[in-house]
Amino acid sequence: MSVDADTVKRIARLARIHVEPEALPAMAQELNGILNWIEMLREVDTTGVQPMAGGGAAVLRWRDDVVTDGAQAEAVLANAPDREGEYFGVPKVVE
Amino acid sequence: MIRPTDLTMAEARAALAARSLSARELTQAYLDAIAALNPRLNAYIAVTAEAALAQAAQSDARIAAGTARPLEGIPLGIKDLFCTAGVRTTAGSRILGEFKPPYESTVSGNLLRDGAVFLGKLNLDEFAMGSSNATSAFGPVENPWSRANDAETKLVPGGSSGGSAAAVAARIALGATATDTGGSIRQPAAFCGVAGIKPTYGRCSRWGIVAFASSLDQAGPIARDVRDNAIMLRSMAGFDAKDSTSANMPVPDFEAAVTRGVKGLRIGIPREYRVDGMPAEIEALWQQGIAWLRDAGATIVDVSLPHTKYALPTYYIVAPAEASSNLARYDGVRFGARVPGEDLADLYERTRAAGFGAEVKRRILIGTYVLSAGYYDAYYLKAQQVRALIKRDFDLAWEHCDALLTPATPSAAFGLDEKNDDPVAMYLNDVFTVTANLAGLPGMAVPAGLDAQGLPLGLQVVGKHFDEETVFAVSGAVERAAGFTATPRLIA
């Protein structure tokens, strides 16, 4: 499988990264270099192999469904690029 | 005369306890060394001198009062991927802007709990994505080593923990925290002639460490020798309820294991780790390592890890997929840098375009692609299945041996401009280290010799899950046999 400039444009949109149109072909070429290399996995027979999802124990620990933290608006907002009162500030979303 | 920066961590600990050296003297010696060497090495992104001296003064008071903690007064550098309360944390990226975490990562908090002094934040590849420290938004780190007949060519320290390895090698930190997702502790340690261990997945809490690929990321130390690593890891490790993958296991006395020896141990030599184009010196060093362990009383066993050659392609699906998800949080809204846009979507897209470097964008795009509709099964699911086979290779090997010995890297440190055009060529640096991440196993790089150009080469010891003690025992034996005492050209 290989990607063209239009596919890169679509992926970049999904990833929310702005890419100038003139940069798309070079980026497609770079990604194809990597994708062609990882194609080698196709030759591995994985019939019936259970996919390995995590790095550690197969079963994650449970915890009680209780509030352990909160009421820290100032700490949460301390690094915000823009804020209005106790809210993050963003450009108008709804007209 | 022995200067404070010449002491290993174990030696400094003894000198502090005997009151023949004060914590303030030790910290000041490191701050002076940083002032002299860091302008050239660029290992530190930020130096927190004032706070370090205040911590050291507290340590002196504790030592005087007889209430010293395990790492009392030991000056460390912290990879700038660990969130440090009130101290700017960058992950080597522009996108975090002036981010100052309101909290301390569990691992760095554990070190503070045990009395360590923090000298500053260490440089790294952006979001820990790289093998040369060249992707940092704060400039490359220079390896303090250079080729014997060529002091001019600047070499890379490896990556992503390049600042950590360079700082320890140049003795501008007594030890350093680091992280390893595909080799980011072991490869830079090997390139800089120091030791570093990636513990078992789950041994150290990931809480408060900027996430790259959550099923692979693991924190560990880089320090001057095997014992110093054992000292640091004991403080760094331990169960943490705030990380759902943290293992609720007791933390053994790793230091005691360092001198345990290898008598009766079975050391596996994986035949698939002989790769095309590997320099003869690395093969020779590997054979030397095998002979050292045999002479020390170990039994050498040939083992097979048949899926080894698929490990890197597997990693370059799994890690970017997880990264594309983890890095979605950098959107210019809640923290970090923001670039204004016409609307909210444009703000996201322009913030991320300006904030992320080329390698990070490349990996986010790959990750987004392999997770996208129509490609998920062919790439991501397939990679997870191959990952299971790679882990099974190790499970089968452990029926025949207790630990593995391999080279740490396929080459010595290379020049800053030597491998920049081809991403895949750069990825091959991790060919010997990435398997341990995929299988969740502990692995340690130990300096074992010099190549013909006078650059350090390392051997790697890989152990079973949660058996870091055997890794330390084998690494200690390799270290004693190698007697590696060479030092870099740039050193405090």
So what's the pLDDT on residue B2? 84
Contact (CB<8Å) A93/B244: no
Q: Contact B212/B322 with Cβ under 8 angstroms?
A: yes
A66 confidence band (pLDDT: 50, 70, 90): very high
Helix (H, G, I), strand (E, B) or coil at A34: helix
Closest CA to B367 of B326, B306, B307: B326
So what's the pLDDT on residue B420? 65
Give the count of domains, chain B: 1
* Known catalytic membership, residue B160: yes
B interface mutation test: which of A4, A20, A41 has the most B CBs within 10 A? A41
So what's the pLDDT on residue B308? 97
- Classify residue B409: in a domain, yes or no: no
pLDDT per residue as tens digits for the range A7-37: 999 999 999 999 999 999 999 999 999 999 9
Average pLDDT across each block of 10 residues of chain B; the chain has 492 residues. List them in order. Answer: 94 98 98 98 98 98 98 98 98 98 98 98 98 97 97 96 98 98 98 98 98 97 98 98 94 98 98 90 97 98 98 97 98 96 96 98 97 94 97 98 98 87 86 97 98 97 98 98 98 96
Contact (CB<8Å) A34/B97: no
- Classify residue B84: in a domain, yes or no: yes
- Classify residue B402: in a domain, yes or no: no
Contact (CB<8Å) B202/A55: yes
Strand partners for B269 = B302
**Closest Cβ opposite residue B349 in set A17, A63, A93:** A17
Tell me how far apart the alpha carbons of residues B172 and B471 are, in angstroms, rounded to a whole number.
27
Q: Contact B433/B183 with Cβ under 8 angstroms?
A: yes
Domain boundaries, chain A: 5-41
**Closest Cβ opposite residue B423 in set A15, A33, A92:** A33
Q: What residue of B is the nearest CA neighbor of A86?
A: B334
Contact (CB<8Å) A17/B364: yes
Residue tagged active-site, from B59, B79, B198, B419: B79
What are the chain B neighbours of A3 within 8 Å (beta carbons)? 369
Residue B58 is which amino acid? Q
Q: Please name the residues in contact with A55: beta carbons below 8 A apart, sequence gap of 6 or more.
A: B201, B202, B214, B215, B216, B218, B245, B437, B440
So what's the pLDDT on residue B131? 95
So what's the pLDDT on residue B272? 97
Contact (CB<8Å) B314/A41: yes
Contact (CB<8Å) B102/A14: no
pLDDT per residue as tens digits for the range B413-435: 999 888 767 888 889 999 999 99
Contact (CB<8Å) A16/B215: no
Q: What residue of B is the nearest CA neighbor of A3?
A: B369
CA distance B323 to chain A (A): 11
CA distance B12 to chain A (A): 35
Helix axes B49-65, B23-41, angle to 10 degrees: 160
Q: Contact B384/A52 with Cβ under 8 angstroms?
A: yes
Query: Chain A, 22-81: which have a CB under 8 Å from a chain B CB?
Result: 27, 30-31, 33-35, 37-42, 44, 46, 49-57, 60-61, 63, 72, 75-76, 78-81
A1 pLDDT more than 70 = no
Contact (CB<8Å) A81/B335: yes
* CATH code assigned at B56: 3.90.1300.10
ipTM, two decimals, is 0.96
Contact (CB<8Å) B324/A63: no
So what's the pLDDT on residue A60? 81
Contact (CB<8Å) A51/B389: no
Contact (CB<8Å) A35/B369: yes
Q: What residue of A is the nearest CA neighbor of B99?
A: A79
**Closest Cβ opposite residue A75 in set B97, B102, B216:** B102
User: Which run of H or E residues covers position A24?
Assistant: helix A24-38
- Please, what's the b/e burial string for A9-30 (b: 16 or more CB within 10 A of its CB; e: otherwise)? bebbebbbbbbeeeebeebbeb
Q: What residue of B is the nearest CA neighbor of A47?
A: B385
- Domain residues for B98? 4-258
What are the chain B neighbours of A90 within 8 Å (beta carbons)? 333, 344, 347
Q: Please name the residues in contact with A38: beta carbons below 8 A apart, sequence gap of 6 or more.
A: B313, B316, B317, B379, B383
* Known catalytic membership, residue B164: no
Closest CA to A2 of B206, B4, B124, B369: B369
What are the chain A neighbours of B325 within 8 Å (beta carbons)? none
* Known catalytic membership, residue B215: no
SS (H, E, C) chain B: CCCHHHCCHHHHHHHHHCCCCCHHHHHHHHHHHHHHHHHHHCCEEEECHHHHHHHHHHHHHHHHHCCCCCCCCCEEEEECCECECCECCCCCCCCCCCCCCCCCCHHHHHHHHCCCEEEEEECCCHHHCCCCCCCCCCCCCCCCCCECCECCCCECCCCCCHHHHHHHHCCCCCEEEEEECCCCCHHHHHHHCCEEEECCCCCCCCCCECCCCCCCCEEEEEECCHHHHHHHHHHHCCCCCCCCCCCCCCCCCHHHHHCCCCCCCEEEEEHHHCCCCCCHHHHHHHHHHHHHHHHCCCEEEEECCCCHHHHHHHHHHHHHHHHHHHHHHCCCCCCCCCCCCCCHHHHHHHHHHHHCCHHHHHHHHHHHHHHCCCCHHHHHHHHHHHHHHHHHHHHHHCCCCCEEEEECCCCCCCECCCCCCCHHHHHHHHCCCHHHHHHCCCEEEEEEEECCCCCEEEEEEEECCCCHHHHHHHHHHHHHHHCCCCCCCCCC
Q: Which residue has the tokens 């390799």?
A: B478
- Classify residue B355: in a domain, yes or no: no
pLDDT per residue as tens digits for the range A41-65: 999 999 999 999 887 766 788 889 9
- Classify residue B239: in a domain, yes or no: yes
Residue tagged active-site, from B22, B105, B161, B184: B184
Q: What residue of B is the nearest CA neighbor of A32?
A: B366
